[in-house]
Structure 1
């Protein structure tokens, strides 16, 4: 097919040299690539919006309703996190990898795996464990995109927080080990500290 297209193009442009045709093909390929890259970037950006994340009632009626009013939603500084800030990596390749994994999770929406509050509650622990495992595997990378441990002011932390933050590296704990109920209700069952995962 490509060969016949190339032959047809050569016949139409017999006055053009092979170099001109080759240059035209390079430019056309570049333009198609640029359009696809722009469309892909726009698609990634759109799927990171709060409007997209809460577009289905499974999220809007369950986890988003829980999120409303938490410290990541409303706080004294006015800095507000949205779903993608905590659930999607910010770096390009991890972002694309996460989006590809998420595309396989869409089937659950279409077949109604968690389309009622009862079904959601029945699977809450399993869903939470997936998120905790992913965050432990990346050393809570999504948290660290906003919260930098080298910028902590220990004098503004409680004694308990100060003690735990000072031993994070030695104990192998990461943000999600202690802060797993900060934006959503805690499910019944063991917390993330009990999960054994490979860290980077």
Structure 2
């Protein structure tokens, strides 16, 4: 009888409880995995990254970049379940730091983006020139030399904003799409830097001649004319100097900083707009020629007019345009010109030394200019060699 009782079905009330618990378990698992799936999907979007204040600079610069159609996790999380789970675990830790205000700023990547992330979209085997075709850049050759993609393209997605020190906590409220565009408009932070190429080539003892990296079409058409070589290149406008600087700055044997200007993001924050047209900052063509030593190779040679026997006595009357003289020479006692140290004052020293007014027999105001009253004591012929008689 005992065995027969054990084989009897469970009472209706018990069966109902079992069914209820089983249903709850199934629903719980469905909700857990469903929410888990959608949660993972939601936290994997680039928009989710911007929900934290400290990520706004990275988000808005990415949105203004050429990689804005590529989700963050495509580059920042490596393929594989293990890497994905690890990234999500680290994300929970970062969320805790965010809520407790215990994170470091500016944010910096603990590791560089690996080449494999870039190669998911870019075929290095066919990348021998830039998209515009003006620069020769065999990517596979660089890869064989173990040169990482980020060594040249580190600013392509975020414009190196952490290195530029503009991602501190006090600045997060200022970030929006306009500011992101302003930061990414500065090409020297987003495009490969020629300085990096030159330094790398020199370190590896690779040729730094123009033809190594540039097509022959890079030479402007007006540079190929005889007129340009004979002297018309010196008649350019000051506003064109920045264009010349793009190539000729690398041809100078000495470094200089003639074109220092306010960064575009500072212009935006202060004025609400940016001026990316660029100017020469008041620099003249003559000043540039004296500073860039590339000019010295030609202008350092003595002109034919200087070789005549009577040049020393006639040089003051040989040219009506004395400004041409100041391309190489200066009218000051001291000069930093890399072209020549011979100045007007080398042979024609000024009689007005420092503090000459102090020892003058009569008081001379600071703004006093040369006029006829000076000729009561001085010789007109001597004074008018330098001064104009007003």
1:58 corresponding residue in structure 2:
54
Cα distance between partner residues in 2 of 1:188 and 1:70: 17
Cα distance between partner residues in 1 of 2:38 and 2:123: 28
Cα distance between partner residues in 1 of 2:129 and 2:158: 28
**TM, length-normalised to structure 1:** 0.56
Cα distance between partner residues in 2 of 1:131 and 1:44: 23
Aligned length in residues: 147
> Structure 2 stretches of 5 or more lacking a match?
1-9, 165-390
Q: 1:141 to 1:42 in 2, by over 3 A?
A: farther
Give runs of aligned pairs for residues 60-139 of structure 1, distance below 5 A.
60=56, 62-73=57-68, 80-113=69-102, 120=105, 123-124=106-107, 127-128=108-109, 130-132=110-112, 135=113, 139=114
Q: List structure 1 runs of 4+ shifted beyond 6 angstroms.
A: 27-31
Cα distance between partner residues in 2 of 1:30 and 1:146: 41
Cα distance between partner residues in 1 of 2:150 and 2:66: 15
1:76 corresponding residue in structure 2:
none
Alpha-carbon displacement from aligned partner over 1:31-51 (angstroms, at most 9, x marks no partner): 654543332221111001222
Cα distance between partner residues in 2 of 1:144 and 1:29: 44
Larger radius of gyration: 2
> Is structure 2 residue 9 aligned with structure 1 residue 13?
no
Kept in 2, the 8 Å contact 1:48–1:84? The answer is yes
Kept in 1, the 8 Å contact 2:46–2:59? The answer is no
Q: 1:47 aligns with which of 36, 43, 52?
A: 43
Q: 1:28 to 1:65 in 2, by over 3 A?
A: closer
Kept in 2, the 8 Å contact 1:90–1:145? The answer is no
Kept in 1, the 8 Å contact 2:61–2:158? The answer is yes
Cα distance between partner residues in 2 of 1:185 and 1:155: 22
Cα distance between partner residues in 1 of 2:120 and 2:78: 9
SS in 2 for 1:154: coil
> Is structure 2 residue 119 aligned with structure 1 residue 144?
yes
Kept in 2, the 8 Å contact 1:54–1:64? The answer is yes
Cα distance between partner residues in 1 of 2:123 and 2:29: 37
Measure how far apart 1:71 and its partner are: 1.4
Cα distance between partner residues in 2 of 1:147 and 1:29: 47
Aligned CA-pair RMSD: 3.5
**TM, length-normalised to structure 2:** 0.32
> Is structure 2 residue 33 aligned with structure 1 residue 37?
yes
Measure how far apart 1:29 and its partner are: 6.4
> Structure 1 stretches of 5 or more lacking a match?
1-9, 15-20, 74-79, 190-200
Q: 1:31 to 1:111 in 2, by over 3 A?
A: closer
